[in-house]
Amino acid sequence: MEAVSHALGAWGNPSSVHSYGRAARRIVEDSRRHVGGLAGVDPAAVVFTSGGTEANNLALRGCGRARILVSAIEHLSVLEAANNIELIPVDENGVVDLKALQATLGDGGDTVVSVMLANNETGVIQPVSRAAALAHEAGALFHCDAVQGAGRLKLDFSTLGADLMTLSAHKIGGPKGAGALIAADHVQLGAINRGGGQERGRRSGTENVPGIAGFGAAAEQASAEVASAGNLAALRDRLEERVLAEIPGARIVGAGAARLPNTSCIALPGISAETQIMALDLAGFAVSAGSACSSGKVKPSHVLAAMGFDNDIAACAIRVSLGAGNSEADIEGFVAAYRDFAKRAGATAA
């Protein structure tokens, strides 16, 4: 908030050469260093965008490859970035099937492959560097949507083996409406937003200086705190243990795979995610469904459907995300509220 409000006062346009413009430019370039630091890249590789959605679109539509192969559990901003997207299946734990990727790739000279670092609904971590290696062996480019992994896993663009990588400010505590595409030097990125040539011609439009400032501050903090993010896993494990012990029928989705430390996807078969979310909200707990579309309506999760779950589970799963401010007492409070709700809902159903 401090970084954003300070930047609101820097009213110059970063493209202007007068001193006010230069002050705004300094804010943008400082943030670029911090975001580059978080991703382990030179700041020049950072292209600021209006968020993860735009960065995913820019990556897949701007990279100049005609064929687009993506895992079936990607965020909708990847799945809907083009009309000709081909899907790579995932296994029952929601991990992308690398054999299927290899078999589908063929001659990858005109292909871009996109596999996310961690799934936003289940938290399941994907074998990104192995997928990148397969893509490169076939001559394809590799894009990684790292929106959910940033700040929770150590990010290193070159270790991941990506050519393009997406980040979003609001997933690491920054403001909504700011994000970045990390683009390796060798990628000839064609702009989608054309005009004044900002961001070295890769994304025209006057920069969102306050949003970028907040993104930079959040990235700096996330880089410092990523080592302790793993501590949340103990709290998450406790939450899952207690839910399974207290709520008959509840199940943890993706439990058989490596997952982000803060995410739990819990299915309560037969009770829609929407009903669960509303009841928990009334009890003071803010949780989400797999995918909330802009109307606020909850649809069955395409991620859970891709994992082979039928609607009874895919429409009945909630996502619980923990943060640094959560405690054991929160977990107990949540389990009690969830258990009471599940009892009431079960009684109504019976």
DSSP, res 223: H
The CA-atom distances, in angstroms, between 122 and each of 5, 94, 266, 275, 330 are 34, 8, 9, 19, 21
CB-wise, 148 or 331, nearer to ligand PLP?
148
- Report 172-201 residues binding ligand PLP (CB under 6 A): 179
Q: Which of 46, 116, 267, 320 binds ligand PLP (CB under 6 A)?
A: 116
Q: Which helix (H) or strand (E) holds 141?
A: strand 141-145
Cβ-based nearer residue to ligand PLP, 108 or 179:
179
> Using the rule CB under 6 A, which residue among 77, 104, 198, 262 binds ligand PLP?
77
- In the list 168, 208, 264, 276, the residue contacting ligand PLP (rule: CB under 6 A) is 168
Tokens of 2: 């401090």
CA atoms within 13 A on the CB side of 284: 7
Which range touches ligand PLP (CB under 6 A), out of 25-33, 91-99, 144-152, 223-231? 144-152
Nearer to ligand PLP (CB atom), residue 120 or residue 250: 120
Residues that bind ligand PLP (rule: CB under 6 A) add up to a total of: 14
Q: Which residues are catalytic?
A: 293
C-alpha angle with apex 159: 154 to 165, nearest 5 degrees?
Answer: 75
Q: Which of residues 56-75 bind ligand PLP (CB under 6 A)?
A: 56, 75
Contact flag: residue 203 with ligand PLP (CB under 6 A):
no
Segment near ligand PLP (CB under 6 A); pick from 16-24, 140-148, 211-219, 339-347: 140-148
Nearer to ligand PLP, 180 or 189 (CB): 180
Does the footprint of ligand PLP cover residue 47 (CB under 6 A)?
no
Report DSSP state, residue 267. Answer: E
Asked if 126 touches ligand PLP (CB under 6 A), the answer is no
Burial per residue of 124-160, b for 16 or more beta-carbon CB atoms within 10 angstroms, e otherwise: bbbbbeebbebbeebebbbbbbbbbbbbbbebebeeb
Residue 171 Cβ vs ligand PLP, minimum distance, rounded to whole Å = 7
301 touches ligand PLP by CB under 6 A: no
Got the DSSP string for 291-337? -B-TTS-B---HHHHHTT--HHHHTSEEEEE--TT--HHHHHHHHHH
Q: Which two tokens stand for residue 138?
A: 């076939």
Q: Which residues bind ligand PLP (CB under 6 A)?
A: 51-53, 56, 75, 77, 116, 120, 145, 147-148, 168, 170, 179
